[in-house]
């Protein structure tokens, strides 16, 4: 945990990423690394290993673009119904520990809370229905609505226009360092790296950003 130097009482706006930050990324990792290669192997009549190799190459080509999390794009790309497959494993969608308590604290202290995600709006709908977290957010925006992924400064310019947050009084939490770098470049003053994105993976590390392992840490600060 390292969030020293953040004056939480002065924070008026909290921007939160979804997958890996407030939700366990295991759902997404399992889908893209296990379920989809399995179904793709069946469709193409190839081995699981070959299917995974082909898909990983496709993922790499589109990483950091709008296609990366566009499930309609991937449905066309792999000739499988991605939304239907995600629905099949919706039981794996889980909220990280203490997230709901943290969101309740923010509401109680009248902070403006926004979800900013690269996830497709269909995935956002699926996850909000499963977790019921939508009620805690003043607004949620996706990169598809904006027209740019969060790795691009243009995303943040448009997001600020839509949400009206003050960069100097905003805290942003995300589990992707490339996104945090862009947000910092845009001028968001307070940034935290969520170092545990998946319950089944090792903790990430960063010397560049203050980091947060568990949202329980932010229940103890003076808001």
pLDDT mean for each 10 residues of the chain (223 residues) = 79 98 97 97 98 96 88 96 95 97 97 96 95 97 94 97 97 96 97 94 80 93 92
Is residue 154 a contact partner of residue 177, using CB atoms and an 8 Å limit?
Answer: no
3 domain residue, yes or no: no
> Tell me, what's the pLDDT at 19?
97
> Tell me, what's the pLDDT at 205?
74
Residues 58 and 113 in one domain: no
> Tell me, what's the pLDDT at 201?
84
Catalytic, out of 2, 10, 125, 166:
10
Give the pTM. 0.94
Of 70, 91, 112, at which residue does a domain stop?
91
Q: Which domain, by its residues, includes 49?
A: 27-91
* Exposure class string for 134-144: b at 16+ Cβ within 10 A, else e: eebbeebbbbb
Residues 77 and 133 in one domain: no
> Tell me, what's the pLDDT at 11?
97
Residues 153 and 209 in one domain: yes
> Tell me, what's the pLDDT at 143?
94
In CATH, what number is assigned to the domain containing residue 166?
3.40.50.1000
1 domain residue, yes or no: no
The residue among 38, 84, 87, 29 whose CA lies nearest residue 59 is 29
Residues 121 and 33 in one domain: no
In the residue annotation, 10 being an active-site residue is answered as: yes
Of 69, 91, 113, at which residue does a domain stop?
91
Residues 17 and 57 in one domain: no
Q: How many domains does the chain have?
A: 2
> Tell me, what's the pLDDT at 4?
66
Q: 167-172: list long-range contacts, CB under 8 Å, 24+ apart.
A: 169/10, 169/11, 169/12, 169/13, 170/11, 170/12, 170/13, 170/14, 170/15, 171/6, 171/8, 171/11, 171/13, 171/14, 171/15, 172/14, 172/15, 172/16, 172/116
């Amino acid at each position: 945990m390292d969030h020293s130097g953040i004056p939480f009482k002065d924070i008026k706006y909290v921007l939160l990423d979804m997958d890996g930050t407030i939700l366990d990324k295991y759902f997404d990792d399992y889908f893209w690394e296990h379920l989809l290669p399995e179904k793709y192997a069946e469709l193409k009549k190839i081995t699981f290993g070959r299917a995974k190799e082909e898909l990983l190459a496709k993922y790499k080509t589109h990483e950091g673009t709008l296609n990366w999390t566009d499930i309609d794009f991937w449905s066309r790309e792999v000739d499988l119904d991605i939304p239907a497959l995600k629905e099949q494993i919706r039981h794996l969608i889980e909220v990280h520990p203490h997230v709901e308590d943290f969101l309740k604290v923010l509401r109680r202290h009248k902070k403006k809370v926004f979800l900013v995600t690269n996830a497709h709006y269909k995935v956002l709908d699926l996850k909000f229905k499963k977790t019921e977290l939508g009620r805690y957010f003043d607004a949620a925006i996706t990169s598809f609505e904006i027209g740019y992924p969060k790795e691009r400064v243009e995303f943040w310019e448009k997001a600020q226009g839509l949400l009206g947050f003050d960069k100097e009084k905003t805290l942003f939490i995300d589990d992707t360092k490339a996104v945090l770098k862009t947000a910092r470049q845009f001028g968001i003053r307070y940034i935290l790296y969520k170092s545990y994105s998946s319950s089944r993976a090792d903790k990430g590390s960063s010397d560049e950003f203050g980091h947060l392992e568990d949202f329980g840490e932010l229940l103890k600060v003076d808001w």
